[in-house]
Amino acid sequence: MMRFGPKLSRIVEAIVGGILVLWGLGGIVPAHADGTDDTAVPRVFGETYGAWSGRWWQWVHSFPAASNPLVEAGTIDCSRGQREPVWFLAGTLGGEAVRTCTIQRGKALLFPLVNAEWINSPGDCGREAGCTEAEKRQLLYDDVNLACNLASTLDGVPTVFSLITARTQSPTYRVEIGQDDIFGFPAGTVDEATVADGSWVLLPPLPAGNHVLHFRGALCDATTHEPFFTTEVTYNLTVHGDS
């Protein structure tokens, strides 16, 4: 679990990669969005970037710690838990990872550059009921702004020039914690108004064949600008020829 700054034990993950995102289906979503479904907000497969980010977090929470996508390395099964036209990829909890897996052709790929989530626990923000939605959004906004040193490539080509970065906050969503949560929340914890914030990459479906996706980055101290958290991920992807 990431902890940086006072009372940020709910900053449960930071994944940093490069500056990529969409293939002509949208633009930059306001960083401090209120999570509402405004018709002006770009949609992909019928959902806003923010809504997809909430689904990504629910996907991560569906796995126990020992087999969570955030800690996997080597040859893995990228199809686990995927039920959407968009498949999710994970970063790390810090440090490097190299992963090899197969992707079904026709699936877009979503992964965070830097992201964070707030799940209320009793006593958060000095109240038994925890933080309000507005407080969660402000806390997350402030901390995701610490992202730095972002870079990424697809098949060795920097992606910054070809695609667009989306920074967004999610609508509220429900999280129910199961056994052996990777972030240490007690089983049975429920937050009906969980909020996430982050910068996201949504790649269009890749052509059949082999591809290398690499992303890295850091979180930097606001005063010294020195990184205090770094992460780096390489995905060796094989895209099936059949849809």
Give how far the C-alpha of residue 226 lies from the chain's centroid of Cα atoms, to the nearest Å: 23
What pLDDT sits at residue 51?
94
5: alpha, beta or left, given left = phi > 0 and alpha = psi -120 to 50?
Answer: left
Phi, psi values for residue 59, rounded to 5°: -65, -45
| Structure-token match 């920074």, residue found | 167
pLDDT at res. 89: 95
How many Cα atoms within 13 Å fall on the side-chain side of residue 186?
Answer: 6
> What is the bridge-based pairing of β-strands 43-44 and 74-75?
unpaired
What letter represents residue 128's amino acid?
E
Residue 21 has a pLDDT of: 30
Q: Measured between alpha carbons, how far is 189 from 72 in angstroms, rounded to an integer?
A: 25
Quote the pLDDT of residue 162.
43
What H or E segment, with its residue span, contains residue 203?
strand 190-203
Give the per-residue pLDDT at 34. Answer: 46
**Per-residue pLDDT tens digits for 200-232:** 888 889 999 999 999 887 889 999 999 998 888
The upper half-sphere exposure of residue 223, i.e. CA atoms within 13 Å in the direction of its Cβ, equals: 1
**CA-based nearest residue to 15, from 215, 226, 196:** 215
Tens of pLDDT, residue by residue, the chain (243 residues): 232 333 333 333 333 332 223 333 333 344 444 444 444 567 888 888 899 999 999 999 999 999 999 999 999 999 999 999 999 999 999 989 999 999 999 999 998 877 899 999 999 999 999 999 999 999 999 988 898 887 778 999 876 544 456 788 999 999 999 999 999 999 999 999 999 998 788 888 999 999 999 988 788 999 999 999 888 899 999 998 765
What does the pLDDT read at residue 41?
Answer: 60
Beta bridge partners of 118: 195
CA dihedral 227, 160, 170, 10 (to 10 degrees): -10
- Which two three-digit tokens encode residue 87? 């498949």
pLDDT at 165: 62
Phi, psi of 235 (to 5 degrees): -110, 120
In 155-221 the beta strands, taken as DSSP E runs, fall at: 157-158, 166-169, 173-176, 190-203, 209-220
pTM of the model: 0.84
pLDDT of residue 148: 85
